[in-house]
Amino acid sequence: MLQLAAREGIIPPVLTSISFLDSQQQLLCRHAAEQALIKQLLVTSDNLYAPSAHLKPHWQKIAVALCQSWQTFYAYCQIWGEVKRNNLDLARVRLGLTLLTQRLLAVLLNDKLGIYAPTEL
């Protein structure tokens, strides 16, 4: 999906930044599934990079929760078609959420669970 977006010029081949805000500085992610994914991305990041001193993270459960949040997001939040035609910024934000999910999942799989994370399927 990310490679297709890069080939179509929706996102650059090397994505460095995406604005999650519209011209009025309001968050573009208004759908409940987008917000749930953002929350899960933050929880995952906190567990990876600022773990609690009192609790040991259960990496497998964290990875599954991230995957489930992304699957729900993908089921309810269209990127292509009408969204791409009518709101390219929203399509880019959704691709950015997909990229963030991919990168955090790779860290979980490779570094915490010792599983090879393929770069493409």
- pTM metric for this prediction: 0.88
Q: Considering the chain, what is the average pLDDT of its residues?
A: 91
Number of helices followed by number of strands (H, E) in the chain: 5, 0
As a whole number of angstroms, the distance between CA 4 and CA 2 comes to 5
CA torsion sign, 66 to 68 to 72 to 77?
Answer: positive
What backbone torsions phi and psi does residue 12 show, to the nearest 5 degrees? -70, 155
What backbone torsions phi and psi does residue 31 show, to the nearest 5 degrees? -75, 145
pLDDT tens column, 57-109? 899 999 999 999 999 999 999 999 999 999 999 999 999 999 999 999 999 99
The pLDDT value given to residue 119: 74
- 120: pLDDT confidence band, cut at 50, 70 and 90? low
Please state the domain extents for the chain: 30-121
Share of the chain above pLDDT 70, in %: 98
